Structure 1
Amino acid sequence: MVISVRDIVPFSTARTHLSDLVLEVQNGAEKIITKNGEPAVAVIDIKRLDHYHRLERAHVHLLLLEDVDKGLADVKAGRTIDARAGLSALMKRKRRTATGGRDKD
């Protein structure tokens, strides 16, 4: 959907014409409400918001599947280490970072 100039509404106008604004949004419009001339919030239909949330969840699942594929490829290629050794190395690196490169014992 393309946002037009009619879809940009100053906060004061939105406040005084909220009922009309809600009807327009329920009929498919999307509105950008500005405050002090800057975009502040978007008003969209609840069904569209739900759709956006479902798309976001699907995207997260796809990213997780991509990470699983990379992990399986690492296992297949033999790029593995013992979990305890890996955690120990991470903790040492974290301590070095926290102490400016010096080992802290």
Structure 2
Amino acid sequence: MPLHVSDILPFSEARSQLSRLVDEVQQGAEKIITKNGEPAVALIDARRLDHYHRLERARIHLLLLEDVVKGLDDVDAGRTLPADEAMKMLRQRRRGSKA
């Protein structure tokens, strides 16, 4: 659903019209509330927020799977180190960045 100029309102107006805004959002509208002329928060239906959270979790899982595939490709290509060597290199890098 596209936002319209009427869906963007200052905090002071939103505060005085909160009941009406809640009704509109429950009917499918989305509102952007500004503070000092800058976008501050979005007012969306709670069910839609839950949907957005599920989508974000799914995206995170896909990113993790991509990392696993890259790691397996590294193993297949021989781009690996034993864990103790890798930890030693990381410690040396950390010491070098602190100096």
- TM-score (norm: length of structure 1): 0.91
Q: Which residue of 1 aligns with 2:91?
A: 91
Say whether residues 1:10 and 2:10 are aligned partners: yes
* Count, aligned residues: 99
The structure carrying a bigger helix percent of its residues is: 2
5+ long unaligned stretches in structure 1: 100-105
Q: Which residue of 2 aligns with 1:42?
A: 42
5+ long unaligned stretches in structure 2: none
Spell out, residue by residue over 1:37-89, the C-alpha distance to the aligned partner (whole angstroms, 9 max, x if none): 21111100011101111111011000000000011111111111110010001
Distance across 2 between alignment mates of 1:2 and 1:43: 14
Aligned pairs for 1:1-105 (under 5 A) are 1-99=1-99
Distance across 2 between alignment mates of 1:80 and 1:25: 52
Distance across 1 between alignment mates of 2:40 and 2:10: 9
Distance across 2 between alignment mates of 1:9 and 1:65: 41
Bigger RCO (CA 8 Å, 6+ sep): 2
Q: CA RMSD in A?
A: 0.8
Q: Which amino acid letter does the alignment assign opposite residue 21 of structure 2?
A: L
Q: Which residue of 2 aligns with 1:103?
A: none
Q: Which amino acid letter does the alignment assign opposite residue 39 of structure 1?
A: P
% identical aligned pairs: 66
